[in-house]
Structure 1
Amino acid sequence: KNKNPGLQKYALDCVLNYKNKNVVAYKTNLHNLVDEKKFKDEMTQFEITEDANNIHPEDREHVLPLILRILYGKMTSKLAADKKGGGQARRSLVMRYLAGCNENELQIFIEMAFSQFKQYMVLAPKEIHNCVLSAIDLKSITAPGKLHSALNSFDVVREYFGGYMKDQLLSRFFNIFYGICTTIGGVLAQGDKVHIGYVKILKNLIVIALTTLRKLFEQFDKYPWTQDELHVIFETLLWPLISKLHIEGVHNPTPLIKLLNTWC
């Protein structure tokens, strides 16, 4: 998943040297996906949906992880950001293409994109909440920029892949969100020990998280939210803000008010 096309090519060549028969047959396709000049055309011609039959069923488990790693690197590459909006355009292109993956393959991508938080996918929401809070060390916490990036990535995956996930994968995906939000909320709970500039940034992340949460409830209105999930949501995002709602929500509808309105 390296972002450098040159290194991607060398890494791919190393993999191909193992001559895995399930992979070698797709050598040209994989090289074209690595190539900056060819990868867009290759995505158009080499569809990865199971219906397209471009990849034999017995080969998918070997080939798709390679495609996912290559395109994740493409999606996050700074080369695409040279022109205004270039990064977003490339990300949209890649995400639409990867929407052709099945659920197991989508999970591989999610674990790759959220490697720092993937351990939460197999835990219960309350376990995540307790685990994160007990491990918070103000001397060594995730940088706000990384938390912001994780929230943005979560929203992108929600937008492009959410409609293809069943409840089990959705719950695992949501666990990543709970882990991120608990980290932010846990640090803010010790706000008196945190630099004021840092607190301001984290409060902005809470606003982003509330907006994302509203989108989750709007998009997944049939999802069976559990009591534990709602407990974590209220503990991390709602209770700390509700006491200030009569002040902050006087002039304009806050993200919290918009969320509450979604529930009405």
Structure 2
Amino acid sequence: MVILLSAFGIVLLGAFAQAVSGFGYALVTVPLLAAAVDPRAAVVVSALTGIGLTLTAAVRERAYARWRVAGALTATALLGLPAGLLVLARAPERLLSALIAAVVLGCAALVWSGARIRTGRLGLGAIGVIVGVLTAATGTNGPPLVAAFHSLGYDPRTFRATLAATFSGTSLIGLTGFLLAGQVHADVVRISLVALPAVPLGWWLGNRLFHRIDPVVFRRIVLVGLLGSAGAALASLAG
């Protein structure tokens, strides 16, 4: 019961973060769920509970999304998916936690420094492959997308909409991979079903705040969210 209640609260917080910043769901839920259950289950639970959120957000924000960019990233993510599934299945739990921490901290450094990354055709292709690996291995596939979209100079509405469109595609291929790899079992389904009602509640609360934020504050929220997620991942690793 404690695990189920914790999962509900974690998913609520993740959906709130997603609505405000456009990317925070997996970055919040995976590290925190990994502290309550094993990292593999955390990745799958996050994917199962988050798929409806990303699809709904993509439909609602479709007029603001850069669909060609999202489509290209999803297509190249397929190339990285098999490697990510292999890591998820065979890597020790502490290695998965370390990978989560490294990815989140790396992106926090990129956003903090304001560094620009290559976002041409080859650059986006490479980012898509990385996103595919992270989708299956850790579920935390947002950081490279956050860095890329900041480099492209997207405003908050376009930023959130294009992330939602990309997440929709990667979530669908990720869930397909989890099913084929046998990672979806009774325990993760039970936890997901209990936590699922927290998703629309968290989104509703976060969406009310989103429309009251100016772009400067928005960027700060992105950075704080990344640093907070990195801290949670490191705490899980230390434990």
**TM-score normalized with structure 1 length:** 0.29
Bigger helix fraction: 2
**TM-score normalized with structure 2 length:** 0.31
Tell which structure's C-alpha radius of gyration is larger.
1
